[in-house]
Amino acid sequence: ALRSRFAMRPLAVIAAGAEIDPESETGAGLQAMPGARVMLGTRIGDYCLLNTACTVDHECSLGAGVHVMGAAAIAGRVRIGDHATIGTNATILPDLTIGAGAQIGAGAVVTRDVPADTVVSGVPARPRRVAPPAVDLSILEALPPLRA
């Protein structure tokens, strides 16, 4: 019998119309809005937000606190670090790495790896500036993990 790894985690909100492949893994506090799609073998960290009509393709890995805005498309085997933001209608091509805290501008097409804390935009996406976090996120590391 086929056994699914997908299980509702604490504080998760999966809206009607969102699709999460049963072979994907999700963390606590996931919010998946209507039309959000997560494909086979993807791992999503704690407290991620997948906004309306975004797609996270097969075998991707999203760190904790990643925000994927509406209609963004993340191709297969992409790795996204903690607290990164993917803008509305952005496209990330396969096999890339987006560093922790990176910000991908709306409508950008990412064709190369993006370093941590870097803002990129354009078609193709180009680095615009380095933007370290405005707040110290290390306090989150001290919180106890939620258990399913």
Residues involved in catalysis: 58
Element (H, E) at 26: strand 25-26
| H-type alpha helices, the chain | 138-141
Strand order in the sheet with 19-20: 19-20, 37-38, 55-56, 73-74, 91-92, 109-110
- Two structure tokens written together for 5: 């790894």
Q: For residue 148, which of 11, 2, 3 has the smallest C-alpha distance?
A: 11
